[in-house]
Structure 1
Amino acid sequence: MPQPWKKSLLVNNSFVVAAAIMFGFSRKARSCEMIMLGRLLMGVNAGVSMNIQPMYLGESAPKELRGAVAMTSAIFTALGIVTGQVVGLSEFLGSRQVWPWLLASCLVPGVLQLTTLPLLPESPRYLLIDCGDTDACLAAMKRLRGTGDVTGELEELEKERAACQGHHAQSPWELLQNPTLRRQVTSLVVLGSAMELCGNDSVYAYASSVFREAGVPEEKIQYTIIGTGSCELLTAFISCVVIERVGRRVLLMTGYCLMTCWGSIFTAALCLQSFFPWMPYLAMSCIFAFILSFGIGPAGVTGILATELFDQKARPAAYTICGVLMWTMLFLIGLVFPFIMEGLSHLVYVPFVCVCICGAIYTGLFLPETKGKTFLEISKELQRLNLPRQTGRPRWTGPEVIQSTKV
């Protein structure tokens, strides 16, 4: 039986505490190895948290608010980026004297989670479907909903439990081999890769040089960069508000289409900046617009896909695949981006624009809309799309040959 999500998050925060201690005492110990080990522990914590948190939130939320609740992970990720940019200013913890405190500041959210998580109930779906504990599931739903009338939602969970009866928790390898989950796995791989390869992380790395080219004074660049994280935070919040109205597909397609537009203009501005004095300002504007577009859809919606496209028995394996894939892509793009920038020069964003185009096309053609649907309804629709021959619909096999001459 898998570990409960809340317990997993609690155990995961022990890595944050250990990393913060190493960061805090690394300077006094004169040990760079403590910093490296602390970074490793923080990486483990981030990888586990970014998979379990949206899964826990998505399973605990009602279907009418599932997307908005799961999107809060993207909001707090963007908030973490902005907070790191602010506390990293030279006026706060970004100086030579106090940089260990900057690294050790990760202790604050870690301790906050350790003290508040025990007050929250476990995922109702986990309690009912994985543990078979109806009473605990009912108590958890009443605590989460703040009302005693959860009969309708409990009936939906019972139907989902019946559909999962006789199925075991799948491993990542079984998930990849399962033909009934082919579309879900493909969507997870394509859109998860697109989110990491779309160029948003590279924009953050490229921002300083563009701001410098636009004439921003060197000592002011650190303040300008705060605007990049603020853009992602703003659009993540807006997407959280509108996701249950416009749907997941619309947000994803809109985000990738806008990123294609701004990435293309950004490339043109870089190529023409030596001919027109105002081109660096256009390039700087494109950076903010690109990050705003990323926050509209890919930043948050991609993380919801593994929750909504897979059932209770396949969901943990799906998040394992998604997490490994996305962090591998992020690692690779960090390694090869300097070489791409050196080789393509001003055309550095052409590959990223191509990825955005592919992401928009795939979303429009192959990703089903999951807004307002129960997990069971989503599973049935995806099963119909995966196995059209077994849905009972008549299949066209070609023109009928008339062998009789009777009129």
Structure 2
Amino acid sequence: PLRVSPQIPLASDTDQPLQGSSRTLALMVTSAAIGGTLQYGYNLAIMNAPTIFIQNFVNETFRERWDIQLQDYQVTLVWTVIVSIFSLGGLSGSLIAGPMTIRFGRKKCLLLNNIFLMAGAVLALSSRAAKSFEMIIISRVLVGINAGISMNVQPMYFGESAPKHLRGAVSLSSAVFTAFGVVLGQVIGLREILGSEPCWQYLLASNAIPGLIQLLTLPWFPESPRYLLIDRGDKEACVKALRQLRGCEVQSSELDEILQEQAETKGMRASRPWELFTDRSVRWQLLSVMIISSAMQLCGNDSIYFYASYVFKEAGISDEAIQYVTIGTGTCEFTACIMCNLLIEQKGRKFLLMGGYVLMTCWAVVFTIALSFEHKISWMPYLSMTCIFTYILSFGMGPAGVTGILPTEIFNQAARPAAYMIAGSMMWLNLFITGMIFPFLVSELSQFCFVPFGAVCLLAALYVGLFLPETKGKTLSVITSEFHKLNFKAQEKQCSSATQAQYQLGEVCHSTLVVVFLGKEFKKINTKLI
């Protein structure tokens, strides 16, 4: 039963429009994202600077413990485990994010998520003193769990808290903060700051600072209004949260929309991930989320960061200057995400998503040509360097941001946590696969290593163009009805065929009755004449 307060004022749609302030919403977004998706980008970037220092630490640890001098490939193997285990931690985090959001709510889940982060930071900070590279591995697992949870919960929290006309822009801010985290990690990782040999353990533990900021600020902001009303049945708390986030009285149309979604999911418990695979009513929604989440990692954008140093070196940039030029790659994605944030409510999700993948396909082709002729034509390395920046810009303009908001917009409240679990699992699993196979692609395919990524981008663009409906400014009911045509297309064809057959049968029967009637009439006339 709903707990309704009789003193709750609502603004009717016919009332004079209320001039609310979005300052509280903006501060809430900043607080949640600083300790949320910013951590994903930050923890990806900070591992580049201390690579050689951690490898030396691993080698020294083996020599002191067991008097073993590791070969280069063995050191590289341990380093690969340290880097890649972050993805497996993220996969684990995405799997537990759904149950946590159902049990604790969106905001409290983000706050509890900092337990993993703080524990990982403590292990990383003390690993050098303890002379244990295993502590670094465990730290990366815990930080990965933190990133996996935040990458799922934060877009859900934003999408459920933002008004309809700002839903895309607010949800897309998750990608903006991810890109900002990459830039911040690249800057903090400079040798002049924390990227030096004496400070690498402090660099790995520096992710605790954004988490601490979130712990101090996020408790001041409300829980997701949709969670409060639909999951907890507390209408009074929902209205209070809406009033705080909007900075004005609650519009009755917005509350009616949430009540409609509550009525549609009334009596439904939260779906399990495996139940979505057997539910025909969400078949194409689930397929869309899985394909687009997988394409986000299989497109090779994260791999291009690792390839950037090689290309910059081939272009004649000195080793000392490469770390500064590399910051430009993160800045490109950050700038593109901001542009996407400004355009998403004007151009729509489908346009940006498909356009981003089409451009990435084109740049992958140009990049392959440039790599093929880099030793024959003097200016080709500069074209390769340009392709790196344009590829990242195209990724930031669409796939980087739009992918994360889709589960919020195409799934109802009961299925949304499970949908995010599946989407997050596909993203982290494919990130791990891409990170593991990319060195082999480079060695086996050489200059053609980006052909598979270009093919993925092309297929993703075709799928988005053919099957994904536009969700900009639409309610969940409208979006669901559009997917309904795809989910039950065969049944609709059968119904249409049956209806047509019944119509034709009716026409035949009608014609037969007319002929019989006319025959009887002619027989009567003929009898009278005789």
What residue number does 1:395 align with? 496
| Aligned mates of 2:194, 2:321 — CA distance in 1 | 17
Aligned residue among 156, 160, 169 for 1:59: 160
The alpha-carbon deviation at position 389 of structure 1 amounts to 6.4
What is the correspondence of 1:292-371 to structure 2 with a 5 Å cutoff?
A: 292-371=393-472
Alignment partner, residue 18 of structure 1: 119
Q: Secondary structure at the match of 1:395?
A: helix
Q: Which amino acid aligns with 1:34?
A: M
- TM-score (normalizing by structure 2): 0.74
Are the counterparts in 1 of residues 222 and 241 from structure 2 also a CA contact under 8 Å? Answer: yes
Q: Which moved more, 1:218-227 or 1:370-379?
A: 370-379
Deviation at 1:191, TM superposition (A): 0.8
- The AA in structure 1 aligned to 2:193 is F
Partners of 1:268 and 1:161 in 2: how far apart? 54
Aligned with residue 203 of structure 2, among 94, 98, 102: 102
Structure 2 unaligned residues grouped into runs of 5+: 1-101, 516-530
Q: What is the alpha-carbon distance in structure 1 between the residues aligned to residue 134 and residue 490 of structure 2?
A: 58
Q: Which moved more, 1:25-34 or 1:211-220?
A: 25-34
- Which residue does 2:387 correspond to in 1? 286
1:217 is aligned to 2:318: yes
Q: How many residues align?
A: 407
1:113 pairs with 2:214: yes
Q: Deviations over 1:209-233 (max 9, x none)?
A: 0000111111111111000000000
Instruction: For 1:330, give the aligned amino acid.
Output: L
Aligned AA (1:161): Q
Task: Tell me the CA shift for residue 179 of structure 1.
Answer: 0.3
How far apart, CA to CA, are the structure 1 residues paired with 2:173 and 2:301?
A: 19
The answer to whether the 8 Å contact 1:249/1:364 transfers is: yes
Aligned pairs (5 A) from 1:184-223 = 184-223=285-324
Which residue of the partner structure matches residue 69 of structure 1?
Answer: 170
Q: 1:56-82: per-residue Cα shift (whole Å, max 9, x none)?
A: 000101110000000000000000000
Separation in 1 of the partners of 2:382 and 2:491? 57
Q: C-alpha separation between the residues in 2 aligned to 1:102 and 1:240? A: 30
Change (3 A) 1:67 1:361: same
Are the counterparts in 2 of residues 200 and 294 from structure 1 also a CA contact under 8 Å? yes
1:77-88 equivalent positions in 2, closer than 5 A: 77-88=178-189
> Where does the alignment leave 5 or more consecutive residues of structure 1 unmatched?
none
Structure 2 residue aligned with 1:241? 342
2:356 maps to 255
What is the percentage of aligned positions where both structures have the same residue?
A: 53
Residue of structure 2 in register with 1:166 after alignment: 267
- State the 1:394 CA deviation: 6.5
1:181-202 C-alpha deviation (Å, 9 max, x unpaired): 0010110111111111011011
- Return the alpha-carbon distance in structure 2 between the equivalents of residues 391 and 374 of structure 1: 23
What's the offset of the Cα at 1:252? 0.4
1:137-169 per-residue CA deviation (whole Å, 9 max, x = no partner) reads 010100110101332211111111111112221
1:132 equivalent to 2:233? Answer yes
Query: What is the CA-CA distance between 1:290 and the residue it aligns to?
Result: 0.2
State the AA in 2 paired with 1:163: E
Structure 1 CA distance, aligned partners of 2:497 and 2:309?
58
Query: Aligned to 2:263, what secondary structure does the other structure show?
Result: helix
User: 2:162·2:170 contact (CA, 8 Å) conserved in 1?
Assistant: yes
AA in 2 matched with 1:96: E
Shift of residue 3, structure 1, vs aligned partner: 2.3
CA contact (8 A) 1:124 1:138 kept: yes
Deviations 1:43-97 (A, max 9, x none): 0000000000000000101110000000000000000000000110111100001
Contact kept, 8 Å, 2:116 with 2:142, in 1: the verdict is yes
SS in 2 for 1:313: coil
- Given that 1:384 and 1:390 are in contact with CA atoms closer than 8 Å, whether structure 2 keeps it comes out as no
